[in-house]
Amino acid sequence: MEFLNDHSIQNELLLIFISVVLGILIGAEREYRNKSAGLRTFILICFGSCLFTVLSIKIGIDDPDRIAANIITGIGFLGAGVIFKENNKIDGITTATTIWATASIGMAVGSGYVYLAVLGTLLVLVILSSLTYFEKLIDREHKVREYKITVAGYHDFAYCEKMFRENHLRFIISKQKYTGGNLTGLWIVTGKSIHHHVLLENLIRDERIISYEF
């Protein structure tokens, strides 16, 4: 890889091309999963980080890491932009950390450490894709849902608690509201995925349950 450390115009163009290719690989995976940051975003992040690193090496004679260090700050703003909160759940953390990792890959390419960048890209793809199986396994055995259930004509939640116990689910109540003879509760329920499915079937058939959502 010694020839990559010779920052001639040809080698710099090659580094930029490599950064674009690696950005395409990561961006394609995110695009396939329909995430908030897709193909073009990751290409530009990897390309931009590479270009800034090359520039920091070329023009930062006394302090060559000055520009490269500021890349991290800029990436932090991008990452924050894809994180959002909805229904007491935070989404976008994985995409934000992938942006951060992609920037490091672009910086590695710009510094001439192409082998590290390629290895980093492969690891990112393995983490994003292959580990999905383990996430599904954990989710199947330990699924956490937040249920909002409205019960007609009851002054306590004993009926709901009975249903949870019958379906082998653990629960805690986080909020309750009484309106017009109906009681609404917000429950955090934990258990196997199959037990959640059985609970939903019971909620649909039960005439005492006015409404539910999760």
- What CATH code is carried by the domain that includes residue 208? 3.30.70.260
What tokens appear for 87 in the block? 């229904």
Say yes or no: 125 and 148 in one domain.
Answer: no
User: Domain count of the chain?
Assistant: 2
Domain-located, residue 135: no
Provide the domain limits for residue 119: 2-130
The pLDDT assigned to 109 comes to 92
The pLDDT assigned to 46 comes to 92
Q: What is the C-alpha to C-alpha distance for residues 197 and 175, in angstroms, rounded to an integer?
A: 23
Say yes or no: 188 and 112 in one domain.
Answer: no
Say yes or no: 149 and 67 in one domain.
Answer: no
pTM score above 0.85: no
What DSSP character marks residue 210?
Answer: E
Say yes or no: 104 and 170 in one domain.
Answer: no
Domain-located, residue 180: yes
Question: What is the CB neighbour count within 10 angstroms for residue 189?
Answer: 22
**Last residue of some domain: 107, 130, 153?**
130
Average pLDDT value for residue range 191-204: 89
Count of alpha carbons within 13 Å of 64, Cβ hemisphere only?
A: 8
Count of alpha carbons within 13 Å of 164, Cβ hemisphere only?
A: 20
Q: What is the C-alpha to C-alpha distance for residues 20 and 201, in angstroms, rounded to an integer?
A: 49
**Last residue of some domain: 130, 163, 179?**
130
Per 3-state DSSP, what percentage of the chain is helix, strand, and coil (rounded to 5)?
60, 20, 20
Provide the mean pLDDT of the chain.
81
**Last residue of some domain: 98, 130, 162?**
130
Say yes or no: 125 and 154 in one domain.
Answer: no
b (16+ CB within 10 A) / e for 123-162? ebeeebeeeeeeeeeeeeeebeeebebbbeeeeebeebee
pLDDT tens by residue, 51-110:
888 888 777 656 656 666 677 777 777 777 776 665 556 677 888 888 889 999 999 998
The pLDDT assigned to 87 comes to 57
Average pLDDT value for residue range 123-138: 82
Q: Pick the residue with more confidence: 165 or 77? A: 165
Say yes or no: 8 and 107 in one domain.
Answer: yes
Say yes or no: 94 and 149 in one domain.
Answer: no
- Which residues, other chains included, contact 170 with Cβ-Cβ below 8 Å and sequence gap of 6+? 164, 189, 190, 191
pLDDT tens by residue, 22-44:
999 998 888 887 776 678 889 99
